[in-house]
Amino acid sequence: MVAWASRPSRCHAFVPSRGQAVSDTLEQAADCLRRGELAVIPTETVYGLAANALNAQAVSKIFEVKGRPADHPLIVHVRPDADLSQFAAQVPESANRLRKAFWPGPLTMVLRKSPGVPAITTGRRDTVALRAPNHPIALALLEMLDFPLAAPSANRFMSVSPTTVEDLDGAIRSKACGVVDGGPCQVGIESTVVDLTGEQPAILRPGMISRAQIEAVLGVKVGEPEDLARSPGTHPRHYAPRTKLILKPNVTPEEPGLVFGKPRNLHQLEMQRNPEAYAKRLYSALIELDKMDLPLAFVELPPDGVEWEAIHDRLRRAAQSE
């Protein structure tokens, strides 16, 4: 399903989803982006709030709409075959190996920045985060545009990232020039962020591409997130719903929350004991819990194991009270 819904006052008239050609929809989104406006676009991980990454004024709108601090750098989305030396001052061999193995896909690489990328895009850091998203709509847009797209998750700062257009925050939706509906995101949590600027590669944010997979490609150890100066955007409370969450090994039949196995009351949502399926469902489940307006909900802890690392990370942050 592809639909382009735009604000009549600033962009084209609202276009109903049925019967509209995909190419028209994408052309509208591309036009908005070329004019320095924002568009909400699907990626395989979560929906992104996109702007021309090389246009400082366009990028400043992302910070304004998200309420994001100016020192939190954005990911620059590029075509899978992009010449990375346009954006990065150095492209180490490790970056070439990782892009070959995982692009397009949910892997973001932090490299030394080239002067062509505006300082605002990278939170005034001397590094730049690059990723080629694996979603047909995002890929088609990048093909149509002659610039890369800065795109953070399309949520307000510190809240849950949307994985469907229905889960988009009204304020974000109303401030974008338009929204491209690409259906539910297949991965469901944000990309793995790996820093390749140090002596040793290091994971700044775990994601569904695991440390073990990266180590297998690079043939070297990859640092734990805790080893390093923290990634600027990784506040302990992040990805958090309004509902206070408590993580515990077992949720009782009376308690509300996310459970494995069949729900035993109206306020329980069933999660799968499979990391891919769990990740895909997690944010929409948290948003659904929020709609129940509960003071408190519980989350049955998933198993340990590297394939659950990113999910544990998001659950920990979602449950952090301050």
Q: Using CB under 5 A, list all residues that contact Mg ion.
A: 153
- Token readout for 284 is 């929409």
The DSSP bridge partners found for residue 257 are: 268, 298
Residue nearer to ligand TXA on the CB measure, 45 or 243: 45
Cα–Cα nearest to 275, from 248, 314, 244, 239: 314
Q: Which stretch binds ligand TXA (CB under 6 A): 52-60, 149-157, 169-177, 294-302?
A: 149-157
Sheet strands side by side (includes 268-271): 244-248, 296-300, 257-260, 268-271
Provide the minimum distance between the beta carbon of 55 and ligand TXA in the complex, in angstroms, as a whole number.
Answer: 17
Based on CB atoms, which residue is closest to Mg ion, 153 or 284? 153
Which of 104, 105, 118, 133 is in the footprint of ligand TXA by CB under 6 A?
133
Q: Which residues of 110-148 are buried (b: 16+ CB within 10 A; e: fewer)?
A: bbebeeebbebbbbebebbbbbbbbbebbbbbbeebebb
Amino acid 190 reads E
Question: C-beta of 151: minimal distance to ligand TXA in Å?
Answer: 5
CA atoms of 270 and 268, how far apart (whole Å) = 7
- Which CB, 255 or 313, lies closer to ligand TXA? 313
Q: Which of 60, 114, 164, 234 binds ligand TXA (CB under 6 A)?
A: 234
Q: Which of 58, 85, 213 is nearest to 149 (CA)?
A: 58
Q: Of these partners, ligand TXA, Mg ion, none, which one is at the site of residue 125 (CB under 5 to 8 Å by kind)? A: ligand TXA
Amino acid at site 83:
D
- Which of ligand TXA, Mg ion, none does 234 bind, CB closer than 5 to 8 A by kind? ligand TXA
Does 201 contact ligand TXA by CB under 6 A? no
- 153 is a site residue for ligand TXA (CB under 6 A): yes
Task: Please give the DSSP secondary-structure letter assigned to residue 229.
Answer: S
223 binds ligand TXA (CB under 6 A): no
Sheet holding 127-131, edge to edge: 3-6, 178-181, 39-41, 48-52, 149-150, 75-77, 127-131, 107-112, 192-195, 202-205
43 binding ligand TXA? (CB under 6 A)? yes
Q: Does 186 bind ligand TXA (CB under 6 A)?
A: no
Question: Which residue ranges make up the site for ligand TXA (CB under 6 A)?
Answer: 43, 45-46, 48, 72-75, 106, 108, 110, 122, 125, 127-129, 133, 151-153, 190-191, 193, 204-205, 231-234
